[in-house]
Amino acid sequence: MNERKPVLNFFAVSIFPEMFKIFCSFGIFKKALEKKLIGFQAINLRDYTTDKHRTTDDYQYGGSHGMVMKVEPFFRFYDAFVEKYGEKPTVILPTPKGRLFNNELAMELSKKGNLIFFCGRYEGIDERISVLVDYEVSIGDYVLSGGELPAMVMMDAISRFVPGVVGDFRSVQEDSITMGLLDYPHYTRPEEFRGLRVPEVLLSGDHKRVELFRLKESIKLTALRRPDLFLKKDFTKQEKMAILEILRELLDGAQ
Ligand code: 6GU
């Protein structure tokens, strides 16, 4: 059997630890757990309370609607963690107030040993949690009712950067977004479906032409849909040649 210790261990502290079960039961994340490339534990925050009712939230000072999650259970978990593993973990607080999550941050986080997500609910966690937090991260400009789904989104993206998790690591490194371009369109059989044909070049068997076609499609899509990415991108010579060809085709078409 495989006795290797996972390179990257995820922990999610939540009042709804069961939410993570389905995520861990399918696809690439499940495989990576089985292969012990990554580790994951969902922790029930209530196990770190001390009162009879296992209270995790309370009314907020200063008034206003909504409950706030108490800070003590998170600190108790953190202290127990440091005691058990003898090292400080990296703590992520999913919150709409955080910096926007992206592939660059996913890659950075994939190099940490132990990653803990503190999943809040209601109006969030008592601000004093910030003493323990290394990264406050948002997954987009919309409000979700808890940090569990964002934690799963981030674990999915982060684990893809752990070598061995995605079968062909080249496909991660070459991943469109990682390279600063959107992905090119993909096709599979049949060649024709209800009059819709697969682009001829993909059937040609000419790898050079296929590569150039895909690169041009990626560049066009990025320029039109994500001008922000297009303007940020440092184009290679090969990419600049592809841009020239796009322009040439446009001018030819206009004549
Ligand atoms: Cl990380 N948490 C919550 N509650 N809502 C969000 C979010 C995070 N990112 C976007 N919306």
The per-residue pLDDT for 184 is 96
* Pocket perturbation via mutation, ligand 1, pick of 92, 105, 117, 143 by most ligand atoms within 8 A of CB: 143
Q: Which residue has tokens 């994500």? A: 226
User: What does the angle CA 18 – CA 22 – CA 27 come to, to the nearest 5 degrees?
Assistant: 150
Query: Among this protein's residues, is 190 annotated catalytic?
Result: no
Domain containing residue 226: CATH number: 1.10.1270.20
* Pocket perturbation via mutation, ligand 1, pick of 117, 137, 144 by most ligand atoms within 8 A of CB: 144
Instruction: Tell which residue, 27, 5, 9, 13, has the closest CA to residue 155.
Output: 9
Hey, CA dihedral for 95, 97, 103, 109, is it positive or negative? Answer: negative
- In this structure, the answer to whether residues 44 and 150 fall within a common structural domain is yes
Q: Which protein residue's CA is at the shortest distance from atom 2 of ligand 1?
A: 95
Q: Is residue 184 part of a domain?
A: no
Q: Which protein residue's CA is at the shortest distance from atom 5 of ligand 1?
A: 144
Q: Which protein residue's CA is at the shortest distance from atom 8 of ligand 1?
A: 95
The per-residue pLDDT for 48 is 98
- In this structure, the answer to whether residues 198 and 163 fall within a common structural domain is no
- In this structure, the answer to whether residues 216 and 156 fall within a common structural domain is no
- In this structure, the answer to whether residues 163 and 221 fall within a common structural domain is no
Mean pLDDT by 10 residues, the chain (255 residues): 79 98 98 98 98 98 96 98 97 98 97 98 96 98 97 98 91 80 97 98 98 98 97 97 98 86
Distance CA 89, CA 11 (A): 10
Query: Among this protein's residues, is 227 annotated catalytic?
Result: no
Query: Which pTM was predicted?
Result: 0.95
Domain containing residue 137: CATH number: 3.40.1280.10
* Structural domains counted in the chain: 2
Domain range for 156 is: 8-167
Contact call for residues 94 and 84 (beta carbons, < 8 A)? no
The per-residue pLDDT for 5 is 83
The per-residue pLDDT for 12 is 99
- The token pair that represents 38 in the structure block: 């990554």
Query: Among this protein's residues, is 58 annotated catalytic?
Result: no
The per-residue pLDDT for 52 is 98
- In this structure, the answer to whether residues 157 and 201 fall within a common structural domain is no
- In this structure, the answer to whether residues 87 and 139 fall within a common structural domain is yes
Q: Is residue 61 part of a domain?
A: yes
Q: Is the CB of 143 under 6 A from ligand 1?
A: yes
